[in-house]
Structures are given as C-alpha cells and as structure tokens.
Amino acid sequence: MQFDDNDAVFVRELGIDDIAPIYHLGEELFTNELYPYLYRTWDEWEVIGLYNTDPEYCLVAEIDGELAGFILGTIITKASLTYGYILWLGVNPKCQRQGVADKLVDKAIARMIEDGARFMLVDTDPANVPAIKFFSRKGFGNTREHVFLSMNLSQHEHYGRLIEYEFQKAERAGYRRFTQRSRRNPNIRAGKADAAANEVILNPLVNESSNSDE
C-alpha cells in the first residue's frame, strides 16, 4: 500500500527489495561506538522478521526515490490491552531535518490506532539523546531506563571445568596415538602429539636410559 503525499517525503510499506538497504542504513546509524545497546540487537533478522510478521507497521520513507528512512513496529495484545510498539526508527543522515521521522511515526501510529492500539511504547539507548528529545516532542513520556548487567563467561567455574575436560580429552587422544606408534616402533621418542591432539606435549613414555642409541 502507498500513501498519498503532496510534499517531498513519500511514505510506503516496506517491500522485499528494501530489506538490504534498510539493514545497511541501520548498520550505519546504530553503531557500537555511539549506541552499544542498539548495536547489540540490530541485525538482518530484525528487518526480515518484522517484514514477515508485521508488514503493515513497517514503513519506508523516500525523497526523490532515495531511501530517506524507515520505521519498524508491531502490535502486541496482553489480556485486554492492545498496544503499539515502535522497535526501530532510522533516518538517512543526508535527509535530516526534512520531517522524515515525523512522517514515519505519524503514519505508523495512525495505522496502529486503526488496528485497536490504545497505548504506545518506544525504547532506545539512553545515550541516544536526539531520539529521546524527538519522541518527547511527539508526546511520549514516562521515561524508564533499563539496567544491563554482563558477565565474562571465561571466568566462570563451568567454563574452567569444560576447558580442563577438553584438555584431558586431547591429552588422552594423543597418549593413545603415541602408544600405538610406540608398539610398532619401540625406539620412538615422546614428542608433541599431532594436530588432532591440539599439540599437547606428552610426558616421556620410554625411559631414555633404556634406549640403546642414547
């Protein structure tokens, strides 16, 4: 479906050919340096998934045929409450201050109201001050901040046990291969196990003093 607009910003539904351009624009906008939270959750499956499940709330803005921005949203019903949720909003840096974000949000909200939504949600990285100011101007409020905690799993005790297990398994594999070779050649000396044993150095299995060539 296309929308009738008389100004420069033309808004339409997301099409399959828009998926790649929108994903790459999002990569440009939601960077790790600027917005770590958005960077962690933005990927191509965000676009593909919402295109498949909620195409009517996924809109594209164009100016003179060029991608100017996008909005990706959904409708969620919990018990008796139906609310709209704007998950992603992005504007091409070359198209800033031309009303792109306003037009996208207004069109998405209008559709969600028509489909029964009576409450709207949007979230963003706390560092994304321009987005917070924009949504505040659009009437969103009641700000809440998420708290994200992290853990370095390489320091977890289970990780340590797993590494130790894998090491012992590799060592046993190298030991078996060495003993098989030593039976075939009694003069073989202990060295490094082959690559399959992760280059684990074995303890000598042959007493050096018993070798006739030493």
Print the SS3 string covering 153-178. HHHCHHHHHHHHHHHHHHHHHHHHHH
Is the pLDDT at 13 greater than 80, yes or no? yes
Which of these ranges, 81-85, 104-108, 153-157, has the smallest mean pLDDT? 153-157
Burial class (CB in 10 A: 0-12, 13-18, 19+), 206: middle
Pair (185, 82) in one structural domain: no
**pLDDT at 61 (0 to 100):** 96
Is the pLDDT at 73 greater than 90, yes or no? yes
Taking all residues of the chain, what is their mean pLDDT, rounded to a whole number? 80
Residue 98 belongs to a domain: yes
Which domain, by its residues, includes 131?
9-138
pLDDT digits (tens, 9 = 90+) for 35-46: 777 778 888 888
Q: How many structural domains does the chain have?
A: 2
Q: How far apart are CA 1 and CA 84, in angstroms?
A: 20
Find the CATH number of the domain harbouring 60: 3.40.630.30
**pLDDT at 95 (0 to 100):** 92
Residue 144 belongs to a domain: no
Is the pLDDT at 176 greater than 80, yes or no? no
Q: Are 47 and 29 in contact (CB under 8 A)?
A: no
Question: Which ranges constitute the DSSP H helices of the chain?
Answer: 19-29, 36-41, 44-53, 100-114, 129-137, 157-184
Pair (174, 84) in one structural domain: no
pLDDT digits (tens, 9 = 90+) for 126-164: 888 888 899 999 998 887 777 777 788 888 888 888 888
Pair (93, 176) in one structural domain: no
Is the pLDDT at 186 greater than 60, yes or no? no
pTM score > 0.95 for this model?
A: no
Is the pLDDT at 27 greater than 50, yes or no? yes
